[in-house]
């Protein structure tokens, strides 16, 4: 069984026909989904989806690009969702310097990232990390505010050299569509290097659609293409990678079966 550890079934593009999206994914071997929130509305919807579908779990929190217009009450109401039994992580949280360039805004991103790491630590939850063009600050924060219950670098886009630092922090590495891109040198090297017991699979759907479907909207059903490419790069069977990454996910998110 495959665990899609980062998908946005709470995005209108997928939510509008969620039954079909889940059914199609199941046909390709996906057995579990972590539906990841990025602001108040999407976090509440992730929990609602997790309540309705037994195979879905939720992560709640504020994406770095979604913190600028929120009230303290929005923050508190959203984080309180963490008490729900199907909320298994805080995320996606982190830094994004691709879309945000102003120093004062970057400062606010850091503050919310740290605040949410501390929240996860106080509530016994792992974190799902978004890091875009912010490697240095992201690693420094994670070193100073260690996620006590682990976490995952979602759609890891760093180098092989940085991989060691991330693993030393006790974090897992999640790989998605970019591993399949024909021009993707670094993600393929990372896939070869990452230890099997630290690897997770994801789609980040509806974004980051794997080759050869680039340009279309992404769905969890395409995770088999990510799995296939990683199996090829690691020279291991798909079945083996599927099983190990599934167990890794259950361990990180403390899901009993
Ligand atoms: Ni995402």
For 34, the token pair is: 């972590």
Mean pLDDT, rounded, for 165-190: 96
For 113, the token pair is: 């990232």
Q: How many CB atoms lie within 10 A of CB 26?
A: 16
Q: Domain of residue 138: give its range.
A: 2-252
Q: How far is the CA of 33 from the centre of ligand 1 (A)?
A: 13
Query: Whole-model pTM?
Result: 0.97
Q: How far is the CA of 143 from the centre of ligand 1 (A)?
A: 23
Q: Does the residue 147 lie in any domain?
A: yes
Q: Does the residue 80 lie in any domain?
A: yes
Residue 257 has pLDDT above 80, yes or no: no
8 A C-beta contact, residue 117 and residue 141:
yes
Which tens digit of pLDDT belongs to each residue from 69-111?
999 999 999 999 999 999 999 999 999 999 999 999 999 999 9
Q: How far is the CA of 202 from the centre of ligand 1 (A)?
A: 10
8 A C-beta contact, residue 25 and residue 34:
no
Q: How far is the CA of 132 from the centre of ligand 1 (A)?
A: 11
Distance, CA of 95 to CA of 132 (rounded, Å): 6
Residues in the 5 Å CB sphere of ion ligand 1: 204
List CB contacts of 8: < 8 A, sequence separation 6 or more. Answer: 14, 35, 36, 38, 42, 204, 205, 206, 207
Q: How far is the CA of 98 from the centre of ligand 1 (A)?
A: 15
Distance, CA of 112 to CA of 116 (rounded, Å): 6
Strand pairing partners for 199? 173
Q: Kindly report whether the peptide bond that precedes residue 212 is cis, defined as omega within 30 degrees of 0.
A: yes
Terminus-to-terminus CA distance in the chain, angstroms?
12
pLDDT at 250: 98
Q: How far is the CA of 64 from the centre of ligand 1 (A)?
A: 11
List CB contacts of 114: < 8 A, sequence separation 6 or more. Answer: 141, 145
Q: Does the residue 85 lie in any domain?
A: yes
Q: How far is the CA of 42 from the centre of ligand 1 (A)?
A: 11
How confident is residue 189, by pLDDT bands cut at 50, 70 and 90?
Answer: very high
Closest-CA residue to 172 (of 141, 136, 142, 145): 142
Q: How far is the CA of 176 from the centre of ligand 1 (A)?
A: 11
Closest-CA residue to 34 (of 52, 60, 1): 60
Q: How far is the CA of 7 from the centre of ligand 1 (A)?
A: 6
The CA–CA distances, whole Å, from 13 to 55, 56, 120 equal: 20, 17, 29
CATH at 25: 3.20.20.140
How confident is residue 153, by pLDDT bands cut at 50, 70 and 90?
Answer: very high
Task: Return the DSSP state at 218.
Answer: P
Q: How far is the CA of 232 from the centre of ligand 1 (A)?
A: 25
Which tens digit of pLDDT belongs to each residue from 199-250?
999 999 999 999 999 999 999 999 999 999 999 999 999 999 999 999 999 9
- The residue written with tokens 């972590």 in the block is 34
Domains in the chain, number:
1
Q: How far is the CA of 128 from the centre of ligand 1 (A)?
A: 9
Q: Phi/psi class of residue 57: alpha, beta or left (left: φ > 0; alpha: ψ in -120 to 50)?
A: beta
pLDDT at 251: 98
Mean pLDDT, rounded, for 175-198: 96
Q: Does the residue 257 lie in any domain?
A: no
Closest-CA residue to 225 (of 241, 212, 207, 208): 212
pLDDT at 169: 97
Q: How far is the CA of 248 from the centre of ligand 1 (A)?
A: 19
pLDDT at 68: 97
Which tens digit of pLDDT belongs to each residue from 40-79?
999 999 999 999 999 999 999 999 999 999 999 999 999 9
């Amino acid at each position: 069984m495959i665990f899609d550890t980062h998908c946005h079934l709470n995005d209108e593009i997928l939510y509008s026909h969620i039954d079909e999206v889940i059914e199609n994914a199941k046909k390709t071997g996906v057995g579990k989904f972590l539906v990841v929130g990025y602001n108040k509305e999407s976090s509440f919807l992730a929990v609602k989806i997790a309540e309705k579908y037994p195979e879905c779990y939720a992560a709640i929190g504020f994406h770095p690009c979604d913190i600028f217009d929120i009230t303290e009450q929005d923050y508190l109401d959203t984080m309180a969702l963490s008490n729900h039994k199907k909320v298994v992580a805080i995320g996606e949280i982190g830094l994004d310097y691709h879309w945000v360039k102003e120093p004062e805004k970057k400062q606010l991103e850091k503050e919310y990232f740290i605040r949410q790491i501390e929240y996860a630590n106080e509530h016994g939850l792992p974190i799902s990390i978004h890091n875009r063009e912010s490697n240095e600050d992201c690693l420094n924060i994670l070193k100073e505010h260690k996620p006590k219950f682990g976490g995952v670098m979602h759609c890891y886009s760093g180098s092989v050299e940085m991989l060691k630092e991330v693993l030393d922090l006790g974090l897992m590495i999640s790989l998605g569509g970019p591993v399949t891109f024909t021009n993707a040198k670094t993600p393929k090297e990372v896939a070869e290097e990452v230890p099997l017991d630290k690897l997770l699979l994801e789609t980040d759907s509806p974004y980051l659609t794997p080759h050869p479907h680039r340009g279309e909207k992404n769905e969890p059903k395409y995770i088999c293409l990510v799995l296939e490419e990683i199996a090829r790069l690691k020279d291991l069977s798909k079945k083996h990678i599927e099983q190990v990454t599934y167990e890794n996910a259950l361990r990180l998110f403390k899901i009993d079966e």
